[in-house]
Structure 1
Amino acid sequence: MRDPDRPMLFNIVFWVVLLATGVIPFAAEPWPGSGAPVFALNLVLVAALWLSLPWRRVGGWRRPLPTAFMLATFALGYTGSAEVHILLTLLAIANVAFVHSVRTAAVILGCLSAAAFATMAVLDGDALRAMVQVVPVFVFALFVLGMVSAVLEARRLLARVRELTVAEERARMGAEMHDSVGHHLTLIKMNLENAERFRTRRPEAVWDEVREAKEMTVAALADARRWVRALRPLALEGRVGSAALEGLAASFDGTGLSVSFEVVGGEPSLDPDVELVLYRVLQEGLTNAVRHAEARHVDGTLVFDGRRVVLVVADDGSGRDRDSHGGFGLRSLAERARAVGGTVVSGDRPGGGFELRAELPVRAKAAT
């Protein structure tokens, strides 16, 4: 019932149509004694198969279920349905396309249409009437396949966009990691080279160089730990939503930064894409506060307001560099927020420091 891969609208349509398929024949006319049990078993079979249907490519025993479901819905027309079951067959065709391919579904559709036409033409003795009944269903089925094809293409493009986003984010973070950790390692190398050069001429200066190298090592280690935190996945130890954000804020303890995090309002179930944007906004605000703003304290506030969620990350640091027009990280966040129907803005606070503010819908807008 709660299969995340199955479109919710399909679920609603299926149960409504199945109920109508079972009720209308009884309401239309009295059942002959021999037909009702077969029809009832057919309905039970269709319902059982629906609950087991996969909606993505799978292997094993579930792979043939879409074809079995299609045949079971098709059989309703012969066991007693008053043609109401046709919508169930259209759903079955869509399911075959999702699990196998649009081409496979089209082949099966062609075979079923030919079989239905031949059966009706033989039983009724009227080929024209059979064609009039089969062709509209065939056309609607082609429309369904077209819609499924569009959904599958949208899924493919969305997966590709996410892959590119991850690659872009990793490239950005790799470059920044190289600049920060690489800078410290370069200074450590220079200190050790100086210590080696001074060991005979200026022995007293050797320990100064070693001490500075030690301090740089501590700084490089702290920087590396911050990047490890920044690269953590969204679910920290199984937590999501505000719990994941609180975990991210707590993970910056020990970096010299004091972080407070507050949640205001009742928390609804967040769209995964919205949740990811919130996580990245807090991550960017905390990382920038440590690396650039020389901040000592950061306040994070997550406010749930009906259909909106607002995240504010404010620090007491030096504010934005006057020569800076917003780095890649902030521009990337703004683009992500627009993609889900929200906004991310940033700027200096009136009392000093820097503020990052995200306003997002609880449910991400549909892609257009």
Structure 2
Amino acid sequence: MLRRLAWLRDPDRPMLFNVVFWVVFAATGVITYANDSWTPPGATAFAVNLALVAALWLLLPWRRPGGRLGGWRGSLPIVFLLATFALGFTGSAEVHQLLTLLAVANVAFVHSVRTAAVVIGCVASAMFVWVLVVFHRNVLNATAQSVPIIVFSSFVLGMASAVLEARRRRAEAQRLLARVRELTVAQERARMGAEMHDSIGHHLTVIKLSLENAERFRTRRPEAAWGEVRQAKELAVAALADARRWVRALRPLALEGRVGGAALGQLAASFDGTGLAVSFEVVGDEPPLEPDVELVLYRVLQEGLTNAVRHADARQVTGTLAFDGERVVLVVADDGRGRAHGARRGFGLPSLAERAHAVGGTLTAGDRPGGGFEVRAELPVRAKVAP
């Protein structure tokens, strides 16, 4: 039963509107019943009107009709507006007018500001005629009753327009963020593809030359031919290990449903077959990480392990993920030869430094005092927009 009624808890309904509605709704009932002497028919009509307003509030959509919000629910904002307006005729002491303004905002949220303006014009015109014809008042009095509705409704429509524009910009920003992430992934895959071409392509080129030499030497120098075959075999094993490493590195961040420290630990374990002793530990209580921060940590560990295998001649790599309040620090250290003097600066670490800066963090890399190489990323648990 509760699951069936879950759609009543509309997440698009502004919380402040909800609070204002119920406060004004209660005040309307209390003040009206306290100030008037009721006849049974009048009291019943007002109670029914008040109950109708409360029921409609729970059913109101707060986005443009579509899917299950279409059809009969799409007409509810107009019905709700008329129901709040009718409170003035069934006995409300004018406190209900704030409910009418909420109804105007709802029409703007669901059907557009222009539609709400047209509806308000019609309601104000109807009220003007009603005061003249039914209550037999003069034009000045009818104008005094109608103009405040138009003025206050215009103010509400202005606020609703600002909120709708903010929603539109947020949705656009989310679409752009998704696009940026796609481009980031594409850039990363292009970089890794180029490195795969350089490493595996080199192995395959040498294998081809070795087999060609073996074919050339097979009759005149059999021993040399077998030497070339053995070399080709060794290179094939190295190329296969390289290919497996890249396949592991290209696996998605959430490995078998893991995220955060578990995903990083799984990535570290995936390098066990490379001849490198890899250890990884998590220090401190791990809070949930934002996806952007988690992706940077994953890429930093991936880059540190990959560089240790390819360039450092390392035997052991240690990864440490430490949490300290609102900061998280990842250190990847190896016992290899460090950065060669005058070596060309690669693309991976500068790119990672830019990513760390983009989420409000820092990345440093360099030789360790006792030998080896260390990459250190210090990031906020919650991503911040870097200036």
Aligned counterpart, 1:283: 302
2-structure distance, mates of 1:115, 1:207: 96
Give the structure 2 partner of residue 220 of structure 1: 239
Give the Cα–Cα distance (whole angstroms) in 1 for the partners of residues 85 and 104 of structure 2: 13
> Does residue 130 in structure 1 map to residue 149 in structure 2?
yes
> Partner residue of 1:344?
363
Q: Distance in 1 between matches of 2:123 and 2:226?
A: 92
Partner Cα separation in structure 1 for residue 197 and residue 73 of structure 2: 51
Write the mapping of 1:83-162 to structure 2, written as runs, cut at 5 A: 83-84=98-99, 86=101, 90=105, 93=108, 96=110, 105-124=112-131, 125-126=142-143, 127-162=146-181
Residue-by-residue CA offset, 1:49-104 (whole Å, 9 max, x unaligned)? 56xx7x8x99743566984675576456336544157457647755x5xxxxxxx7
d(CA) in 2 for partners of 1:9, 1:248: 39
Question: How has the CA–CA distance of structure 1 residues 176 and 363 changed in structure 2, closer, same or farther, with 3 Å as cutoff?
Answer: same
Could you say which residue in structure 2 is the equivalent of 1:205? 224
Secondary structure at the counterpart of residue 365 of structure 1: coil
How far did 1:307 drift?
1.1
Report SS of the residue matched to 1:201. coil
Aligned equivalent of 1:360? 379
1:47 pairs, out of 50, 58, 61, with 58
Paired residue secondary structure (1:30): helix
Aligned: 1:26 with 2:62: no
Aligned to 1:251: 270
Q: What SS does the aligned partner of 1:360 have?
A: strand
State the distance in 2 between where 1:113 and 1:335 align.
Answer: 52
RMSD: 3.2
Distance 2:106 2:225 in 1: 79
Q: 2:46 aligns with which of 31, 35, 57?
A: 35
TM-score, normalised via structure 2 length:
0.79
SS, match of residue 378 in structure 2:
strand
2:195 to 155, 172, 176: 176
SS of 1:83 mapped into structure 2: helix
- Distance in 2 separating the partners of 1:297 and 1:73: 70
Match of 1:294 in 2: 313
2:288 corresponding residue in structure 1: 269
Is the CA contact (8 Å cut-off) linking 1:246 and 1:261 kept in structure 2?
yes
CA drift of 1:237 comes to: 0.3
The question of whether the paired residues in 2 share the 8 Å contact of 1:90 and 1:144 is answered with: no
Q: Which residue of 1 aligns with 2:16?
A: 13
Distance 1:40 1:367 in 2: 51
Deviations 1:127-168 (A, max 9, x none): 433321221122222222322232233223212222221221
Q: CA deviation at 1:218?
A: 0.8
Query: What CA distance in whole angstroms lies between the structure 1 residues aligned with 2:103 and 2:292?
Result: 32
Residues 21 and 82, structure 1, Cα contact 8 Å, conserved in 2: no
The structure-2 alpha-carbon separation of the partners of 1:106 and 1:15, relative to structure 1 and needing over 3 Å to count, comes to: closer
Q: Is the 8 A contact 1:42 1:79 kept in 2?
A: no
How far the C-alpha of 1:38 sits from its partner, in A, is 4.6
Counterpart residue identity of residue 188, structure 2: E
In 2, are the aligned partners of 1:10 and 1:91 still within 8 Å (CA)? Answer: no
Instruction: Tell me how far 1:227 sits from its aligned partner.
Output: 0.9
Q: Residue type matched to 1:216 in 2? A: L
Number of residue equivalences: 352
Whether the 8 Å contact between 1:73 and 1:92 is mirrored in structure 2 is: no
Q: Is the 8 A contact 2:284 2:324 kept in 1?
A: yes
Measured in 2, the distance between the counterparts of 1:337 and 1:69 equals 49
1:319 corresponds to 2:304: no
Structure 2: 5+ residue stretches without partners: 1-5, 35-42, 88-95, 132-141
Distance 1:120 1:194, change over 3 A: farther
Letter in 2 for 1:318: R
Matched, 1:78 2:76: no
Instruction: Please list the CA deviations of residues 153-193 of structure 1 after superposition, one character each: whole Å capped at 9, or x if unmatched.
Output: 32232122222212211111111111011111111111111
How far off its partner does 1:34 sit?
3.2
1:308-333: CA deviations, max 9, x gaps?
Answer: 11111111111123324642211221
Letter in 1 for 2:45: S
